[in-house]
Structure 1
Amino acid sequence: MNQRAKDRTLWQRLADLQWSKYVRLPAATSSYTVTRDLRIPMRDGVELLADVYEPKGPVSGTILLTSPYGYNLVGTAMTGGVFACRGYRVVLVRCRGTFGSGGTFEPFMREVDDAADIVAWMREQPWFDGRFATHGYSYLGFTQWALLMDPPPELVTAVIACAPYNFGAFVYTGGAFLLSTMFEWSFVTTKQEEPILPRVLAVLSSRGRVREALAALPLTDAAEKLMDGKAPWYHEWVSRRDLGDPWWKSADLTDALQRVHVPVLLQGGWQDGFLRPTLDGYARLADRGVDVGLTVGPWTHAEGGAVGSRVLLPEALVWFDEHLAGSSDRCRATPVKVFVSGPDEGWRDLPAWPPATDEQIFYPRSGKILAALPAHPGEVGEFTYDPANPTPTYGGAFVTQISPGITAGYTDDSALASRSDVLAFTSDPLTTRLEVIGSPVVEVGHGSDNPFADLFVRLSEVDANGRSRNISDGFVRLDPAQPPGVVRLELDAVAHCFAPGNRIRLIIAGGSHPRWERNLGTGDDPATSTRMQPSRRTIDLSITRVIVPVAHPRHNAG
């Protein structure tokens, strides 16, 4: 190291102390020094910057984190100090093109080669003992999947929280562009290297303009006006709609799921936008026999990095104690730990995900009823979806950073049921508790006078006062060549207990904007078009049903 190691500052000490108290970690075991702005050469000549946090005392192992977000005082406490204070050396690397690292920032596109080059540099450092682990949340989870595309032999474990492994598939979840998430992230990222006060003021003052941009067409022009060319990747994301386009290949790390052999802990949230890849990743690794753990809590993406850290960070520390430091204590009683919401809510240990369940079926009927018996032939529901006045987003498992008039997560969605472009079917009050654990499925007998159409479905819980709260969503952009018939939608996985006396509500609509882009109804490119055409939908209730996975009685009792 050419740079000099320095003791952490008083402010760093205070930040470490406060963050440790907030997340309820055990007492620190050591102090540490920091060596800043170490240069890591990449194969193309670019140099990345890194900081190394070295415990004063015995070192239990090295933990690598790679981030595009920089490391301010609070950020270093959350990602570096939390482990360095407890005996782990921490290497914090800044992605190319961010916070002093060389090159151009191309989100999600350059991480595989850069990850391999970072490890090659680590091997040459005098402190490297031949073993390391990785850790990180969101983008810092994606950079771990990038490393796992070619797992180095020195890697012993990984803790990946709330992250995708196939970015293109996430951007086009259900076949349509995730408008608000991708727009907001891009906008905030263009501001992230400004001083903190101007940055915060710029983001807070932008909510109205972001709301207007999300409502505007065409999509590319709206983004250009607000971001002033500072997020060129956004134009690529919204324009390249064929995921078979070779351009997306660098951001598809699915092969990592077949290559990893070390223990992996996956952490997620029921209302996090990356819930599906988290659960899919667990299933694929478990099927291969990899030592994989899964934790899913009741939070959104933002909450998982805040209040959720009270679960996720202590759990990660214990995981590293076992798999990196070599503690003989087994950190998990079972591979899976999930939070079951509702009456008597709390954590549940499970041997696997999804657990064994029974099916219970509900049927939408005329009269806006969700019943135990199917509808008769001839019972139909009808609505018109107008892209000029798209059905709005009320909550759900997506990522929002600015909240420009929309809220992620659990929210009061009662207003949806009263809209003319929504069909709502509500059950009678439940006589007993109903614990749903797994992925509900909705089969919709769907017809449209316009082949260019989307379907959005939701299950909500309606309390005794008539207030409705979202539980699980499903969305699909329909193939215009597909004839009318049954459309099957697998909703977001849940672990939720519906309370006795409450009711279950099924929502069927033609979209959820701006969570997803609206379907213009014309077949034109939504990135560049403004022409819109409504679609009139007919739902054949006699072939429409809701299938919910219900916990076995022994689980219901617990």
Structure 2
Amino acid sequence: MSSPTHAPVPRPAWAPPSGKPPLSARMMRATWRGLPARRHDVGREPGLVVPADDGSPLLTDHYFPRAEGDFPTLLVRSPYGRGFPWSPMYGLLFAEQGFHVVLQSCRGTGGSGGAFDLWRNEAADGQATVRWLREQPWFDGRLGTIGASYLGYVQWGLALAPPPELKAMVMQVGLHDPYALFYEHGVLRLETALADGVGITYQHQGMAAFLKASLRLQRRLRDITTARPLRRAYVPALGEVPWLDEVMTHPDAADPYWSGASSAAVAERLEVPTALITGWHDALVDQSFEQYARLRRAGCDTSLLVGPWTHTSALQKGWPEVFAESLAWLRAHLCDDPSGLRPTRVRVHRGDDGWRDLDDWPSAPATTAWYPTQDGHLTRHGPTDSDPVASFRYDPADPTPSVGGPLLSRTAGARDNRALEARDDVLTFTSAPLTEPVDLLGPVSARLSVATDTGHAHVFARLCEVDAQGRSINICDGLAPLRTTGQEPSRVTVPMSSTAHRFAAGHRIRWQISGGAHPRYARSPGTGESPVDATSFTPVRITLHADSALLLAHSSELDQSSASHGGTRS
């Protein structure tokens, strides 16, 4: 990006205040291992007021290095408060590395004025904050943004019309499309919606309020997710959450309610260098891959890091790697110090094989088809007919449970699926033990030929690896709604996210198929009625035909990549 076009204004002298970071931030700092040594002592100005365009006060904390000289500024805007964990993660850690850090509560949260409205105010409030920054004596015209989850969404909002000072962005498990967070092909991501309802409603009120609400939700989760109707069943646990009610009752992506929510188009024209960080079991992993593809098409300087993490563990056990990646990117683009950058654009974690550096993420990898057989095998040999191979009965009154996968909760991630696969409403097709390793790199999908007896169903497809002890561990998955007519099979493709994974020799590839994953997704009532409003359920018989296929991506890119172990930068 070009430098600011306005003439530089002499900055008045600034006397750093004597405030210290909160004790909680300093205590958490002492628990971290594997982080770079502190460069500066840190001070803090709490409770600064930034005026929004409508006059709403946006409460802001300013962290700064206690040292002479100019330092670049990082803007962090959050609806989750300005305390734990953002105060130590961003305010303290980055200030001690030589950055001013402006940590701000989004409107209607954390003491800021106005009303929180999910996505509708972030662009304007971000621009108002940049105008305020220009008036600060310590702001030297170099601006970066950083943040996780919704803290990534506010960065995309600012990038709608990037100010000339904006030189770098870091999206950590970041969001750009609220609809895709809450819905998968029109099916409500129920558990994610409830978890987000707790986070946005209570976390900015402090950890005590957040933990109490989280426990209430956990205790009442079964009652909420099995209620008939599902609409507003969350109120006894969460209270009135108007935006959540609106989200749950607008399943159509084309509904005017979602107009302007997605900032996906921003990446198509962006010139601000942008680092993307996600995990294979992050609830937003697909959004990160979409962001990367758009940025690459735009010719934007970008990087991608994908670790063995969930949405939350990326900021916990993955934090040393995430912090190092973020710090290197910001120093390179704000401080003209590229020494910490890795040599390749993409780094992915490939399970037991460790970290792999790739020149790029494959945009159109080749795929290999694996087919189901009537005896439960998974084979490379294509079918000679389209006859049925297996069927099962899905009962929404006893829905197939969800096990692990990309969630916002602690139950996310890779899990042993054996108990799930023992159910009568779960099909599995398993390969013979592999005679040599099989490497995957890119998107995974299921091409299904399916018939139902009611005409209405969901289909859930999952890729697993079965080890020598018989444990079936989930790798990636996806769900899609299905509408059929009569007994003739209908065809549907279920995107199952992406992976970089090596199946070890002696292990087996397993394809798992069921009628849902509850409460991760709202259950299909089997009638075609909205899952949010349904009060009556109808079991459905789902029949899989032989011309179905599991499509696994592979690429020579992985074979030619370099290995880097232990999470260190090469």
- Decide: shared fold, TM above 0.5: yes
- Please give the residue correspondences for 1:528-547 in structure 2 after superposition, counting only pairs within 5 Å: 528-541=533-546, 543-547=547-551
Match of 1:511 in 2: 516
- Distance in 2 of aligned mates of 1:206 and 1:10: 29
State the 1:556 CA deviation.
8.7
- CA-to-aligned-CA distance 1:156-194 (integer Å, 9 cap, x gap): 010011122111122112320110011122134433255
User: Is 1:494 paired with 2:499?
Assistant: yes
Match of 2:172 in 1: 161
Match of 2:243 in 1: 233
State the 1:308 CA deviation.
1.2
Match of 2:20 in 1: 8
Match of 1:49 in 2: 59
The 8 Å contact of residues 281 and 405 in structure 2, kept in 1 or not, is answered as yes
Instruction: Name the CA shift for 1:478/1:117 in 2 (closer, same or farther; >3 Å).
Output: farther
- Distance in 2 of aligned mates of 1:171 and 1:98: 21
State the 1:85 CA deviation.
0.5
- CA-to-aligned-CA distance 1:399-434 (integer Å, 9 cap, x gap): 22xx5xxx2110011122222112111111111111
Moved more, 466-475 or 118-127: 118-127
The 8 Å contact of residues 453 and 540 in structure 2, kept in 1 or not, is answered as yes
Q: Which residue of 405, 409, 415 corresponds with 1:411? A: 415
Normalising to structure 2: TM-score of the pair?
0.91
- CA-to-aligned-CA distance 1:94-153 (integer Å, 9 cap, x gap): 011111100112223321221121112212222222220000011111110111111111
State the 1:226 CA deviation.
2.3
State the 1:271 CA deviation.
0.5
- Distance in 2 of aligned mates of 1:368 and 1:264: 45
Instruction: Name the CA shift for 1:549/1:202 in 2 (closer, same or farther; >3 Å).
Output: closer
Q: Give the % identical residues.
A: 36
- Determine helix, strand or coil for the equivalent of 1:469: strand
Moved more, 374-383 or 144-153: 374-383
- Distance in 1 of aligned mates of 2:437 and 2:376: 22
RMSD: 2.3
Match of 1:521 in 2: 526
User: Gaps spanning 5+ residues in structure 1: where?
Assistant: none
The 8 Å contact of residues 399 and 523 in structure 2, kept in 1 or not, is answered as yes
- Determine helix, strand or coil for the equivalent of 2:247: helix
Match of 1:60 in 2: 71
Instruction: Name the CA shift for 1:134/1:479 in 2 (closer, same or farther; >3 Å).
Output: farther
Normalising to structure 1: TM-score of the pair?
0.93
- Distance in 1 of aligned mates of 2:523 and 2:86: 36
The 8 Å contact of residues 15 and 73 in structure 1, kept in 2 or not, is answered as no
- Distance in 2 of aligned mates of 1:95 and 1:232: 17
Instruction: Name the CA shift for 1:356/1:255 in 2 (closer, same or farther; >3 Å).
Output: closer
User: Is 1:432 paired with 2:444?
Assistant: no
Match of 1:372 in 2: 380
The 8 Å contact of residues 149 and 259 in structure 1, kept in 2 or not, is answered as no
Match of 2:457 in 1: 453
State the 1:330 CA deviation.
6.2
Q: Which residue of 368, 371, 374 corresponds with 1:360? A: 368
User: Is 1:143 paired with 2:133?
Assistant: no
- The residue type equivalent to 1:448 in the other structure is T
- Determine helix, strand or coil for the equivalent of 1:496: strand
User: Is 1:261 paired with 2:276?
Assistant: no
- Distance in 1 of aligned mates of 2:210 and 2:340: 44
- The residue type equivalent to 1:348 in the other structure is R
Match of 2:4 in 1: none
- The residue type equivalent to 1:354 in the other structure is P
Q: Which residue of 387, 394, 404 corresponds with 2:403? A: 394
- The residue type equivalent to 1:7 in the other structure is G
- CA-to-aligned-CA distance 1:509-555 (integer Å, 9 cap, x gap): 111111111111222232222121222112111x1112212343834
The 8 Å contact of residues 435 and 556 in structure 1, kept in 2 or not, is answered as no
Instruction: Name the CA shift for 1:328/1:460 in 2 (closer, same or farther; >3 Å).
Output: closer
- Distance in 1 of aligned mates of 2:62 and 2:206: 23
Instruction: Name the CA shift for 1:281/1:170 in 2 (closer, same or farther; >3 Å).
Output: same
- Determine helix, strand or coil for the equivalent of 2:176: coil
- Distance in 2 of aligned mates of 1:240 and 1:116: 29
- The residue type equivalent to 2:417 in the other structure is D
Q: Tell me the number of residue pairs that the alignment of Structure 1 and Structure 2 aligns.
A: 547
State the 1:375 CA deviation.
3.1
Instruction: Name the CA shift for 1:13/1:109 in 2 (closer, same or farther; >3 Å).
Output: closer
- The residue type equivalent to 1:485 in the other structure is S
- Please give the residue correspondences for 1:118-197 in structure 2 after superposition, counting only pairs within 5 Å: 118-194=129-205, 196-197=207-208
Instruction: Name the CA shift for 1:160/1:99 in 2 (closer, same or farther; >3 Å).
Output: same
The 8 Å contact of residues 186 and 253 in structure 2, kept in 1 or not, is answered as no
